[in-house]
């Protein structure tokens, strides 16, 4: 059996969390990541019959029964993941009844998965129903997007439109737009259910005055999705107090979307209004 520290899924998780911390998206123990791993990959590195312990999921996750994830731990700092992955990460399998996560590796200090585990798993269920290749859910607190929450109307259409105006690539990278939830208590099934509902429609969901959830097929794609939204928010925050002389027109956004053959939210544009 191969050394799990050489597993591509573990290396990806370590590099991604390190980058998220470096960019200031995940201060202290803020943020969490979950990554769905195919069983055949896990079996190369772990004895899947050897369960260290069962951790209650706190909700019925039977739709994910038998699926394997690597998940950041609760209370863990992203800056420490790369140097000590076995303490800060866990590889687990959802039990057949969906009521527990069977820990196969990690959380060696007795820890457990992130407090946002319900939101992650519910979002995985929603995204897998839309696209079976969506394997990553990522939550973080990007500085400029969070700042934008305080000075921009939190309407999905208006927030998306503003972000699309900031960079030529935006409508291509997130053509489905940005979903928005009002401020809610984090770490609860309620916010998990609300996030999952939004994930049926969007791959990016803003938690008002808190942070963002992103979903994608790979670590790189999901990271790049949030990175693009954050870059657009940064440009907005750098220019919002200045008179705008130039902007990307809605007609130009349509040309971009059609050229790159992406399905975009036409109702989020101001064409003919």
* pLDDT exceeds 60 at position 9: yes
Tell me whether residue 26 is in a domain.
yes
Tell me whether residue 111 is in a domain.
yes
Let me know whether 108 and 138 are in one domain. no
Domain that holds residue 225: 132-273
- Spatial CB neighbours of 85, under 8 Å, sequence gap ≥ 6: 5, 10, 13, 14, 106
pLDDT digits (tens, 9 = 90+) for 239-263: 999 999 999 999 999 999 999 999 9
Domain count, the chain: 2
116 is catalytic: yes
Strands 179-181 and 204-207: parallel
- The CATH number covering residue 222 comes to 3.40.225.10
User: pLDDT band for position 91 (50/70/90)?
Assistant: very high
**pLDDT value, residue 273:** 55
Domain boundary among 115, 144, 174: 115
Tell me whether residue 187 is in a domain.
yes
**pLDDT value, residue 272:** 65
DSSP string, 34-62: EEEE-HHHHHTTS-TT---EEEE-SS--G
Q: What is the pTM of this model?
A: 0.95
* pLDDT exceeds 60 at position 51: yes
Let me know whether 54 and 139 are in one domain. no
Average pLDDT, the chain: 96
Tell me whether residue 66 is in a domain.
yes
pLDDT digits (tens, 9 = 90+) for 158-215: 999 999 999 999 999 999 999 999 999 998 999 999 999 999 999 999 999 999 999 9
Catalytic residue, chosen from 116, 156, 227, 234, is 116
């Amino acid at each position: 059996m191969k050394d799990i520290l050489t597993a591509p899924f573990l290396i990806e998780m370590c590099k991604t969390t390190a980058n998220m911390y470096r960019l200031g998206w995940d201060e202290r123990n803020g943020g969490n990541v979950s990554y769905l791993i195919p069983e055949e990959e896990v079996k190369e590195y772990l004895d899947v019959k050897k369960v260290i312990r069962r951790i209650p999921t706190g909700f019925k996750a039977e739709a994910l029964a038998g699926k394997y994830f690597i998940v950041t731990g609760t209370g863990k700092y992203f800056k420490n993941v790369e140097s000590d992955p076995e303490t800060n990460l866990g590889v687990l399998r959802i039990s057949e009844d969906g009521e527990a996560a069977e820990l196969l590796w990690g959380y060696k200090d007795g820890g457990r998965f992130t407090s946002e585990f319900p939101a992650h798993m519910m979002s995985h269920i929603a995204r897998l129903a839309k696209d079976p290749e969506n394997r990553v859910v990522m939550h973080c607190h990007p500085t400029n997007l969070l700042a934008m929450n305080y000075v921009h109307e939190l309407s999905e259409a208006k927030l998306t439109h503003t972000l699309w105006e900031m960079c030529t690539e935006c409508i291509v990278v997130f053509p489905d737009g940005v979903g928005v939830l009002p401020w809610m208590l984090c770490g609860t099934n309620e916010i998990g259910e609300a996030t999952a509902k939004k994930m049926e429609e969007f791959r990016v969901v803003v938690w008002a005055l808190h942070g963002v959830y992103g979903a994608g097929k790979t670590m790189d794609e999901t990271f790049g999705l949030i990175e693009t939204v954050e870059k657009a928010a940064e440009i907005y925050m750098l220019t919002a107090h200045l008179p705008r002389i130039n902007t990307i027109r809605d007609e130009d956004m349509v040309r971009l979307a059609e050229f790159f053959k992406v399905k975009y939210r036409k109702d989020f544009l101001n064409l003919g209004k």
